[in-house]
Amino acid sequence: MVALSEAILWTLADSFGTRGVLERLSDPHWFQALGCLLGFDWHSSGLTTTTCGALKEALKSVGRELGIFAAGGKGATSRRTPEELRSISETLGLEPEPLIYASRMTAKVDSACLQDGYQIYHHVFFFDRTGRWCVVQQGMDPTTRMARRYHWISEGLSSFVEEPHKAVVGKRRDAILNLVAKEAAPARETIPEIVARPPERTLAELEKIPSLAMPRRHRIVSAADLTPKGMKKVLLSLYERAPVDFEEVLATPGLGPKSLRALSLVSELIWGAPASVRDPARFAYAHGGKDGTPYPVDKHTYDKTISSLRKAILQAKVGRRDRLEALRRLHRLFSPGP
């Protein structure tokens, strides 16, 4: 998988540039097809982690030549993303902080702002020498063991907190909290106003909320989820930072999903500014998967593919591009017409 990934990355970068590579990785359909081409189970959550792992490993060999780099991974490796970004950026003379900020915000949005029942456990950050980036991260529902994948790209991103995703891929759900939906703008405007007030006032209102008669259909939070004592430290921190907008609120260290749910509830109950419950997932994905589906990997054909691509790449490097041009002609032959 690493060998084939290396050949594919080189071919893509040569044909479409680093921007084209990042655009394709941020496209959920293209990414899924790449995972299938590499030979992983077509319908398994492991396709995401294995494909990203193969790409990252391949970029260790060809990344500098191509100008594309990768950081992060699964579990504990994902938490080392900022260190990796800083280390790679220093060798490139690239300012690391914007990349680190983008990595942290994409992870925080999908773990705290978009509370859809999936716990983020995989985060890979791809970027080039110009600072363009894309993120592929995945969460798991611990009860159903189903996965959901989140795709981001810097190109065209105008806000981390309003409709920021390139795509969210997963089984749709009904009861979620979505603070990055366009229609959640009233909540995003109200929350910074709430945290700008002295914390004791907000805490006093939170203390009263459990005594309210909540309808059973309430879709955002239940009284049992509110812990005014636990909120005190977060509210003090927010009050001292004096964030001017929702993105600055979200960037506050220590602000997690429960604190945001509580602030969302205060926003809705006290000021009538609800968040959204619209699920952004658009495509069905990750219903499981078994080895050998749709058929076992044909290793002989796999090795021939790697060999053919490597020959084309080597010839292109010395000026003979006929093999790569032949691949392009095949693409045009089998692509649908206008």
Q: What is the pLDDT of residues 76-114, one digit of tens each?
A: 999 999 999 999 999 999 999 999 999 999 999 999 999
Residue 277 forms part of a structural domain: no
Residue 290 forms part of a structural domain: no
Burial 255-269, CB ≥16 within 10 A → b, else e: bebbbbbbbbbbbbb
Residue 83, domain extent: 2-173
What's the pTM?
0.74
With contact defined as beta carbons under 8 Å apart, do 34 and 149 qualify? no
Number of domains in the chain: 3
Burial class (CB in 10 A: 0-12, 13-18, 19+), 109: buried
Residue 169 forms part of a structural domain: yes
Residue 68 forms part of a structural domain: yes
Do 158 and 189 reside in the same domain of the chain?
no
What CA–CA distance (Å, rounded) separates 102 from 90?
Answer: 17
Do 203 and 256 reside in the same domain of the chain?
yes
Do 193 and 63 reside in the same domain of the chain?
no
Q: What is the pLDDT of residues 325-336, one digit of tens each?
A: 665 655 544 444
Do 249 and 187 reside in the same domain of the chain?
yes
> Which percentage of the chain shows pLDDT scores above 70?
78
Q: What is the pLDDT of residues 220-233, one digit of tens each?
A: 445 455 556 667 77
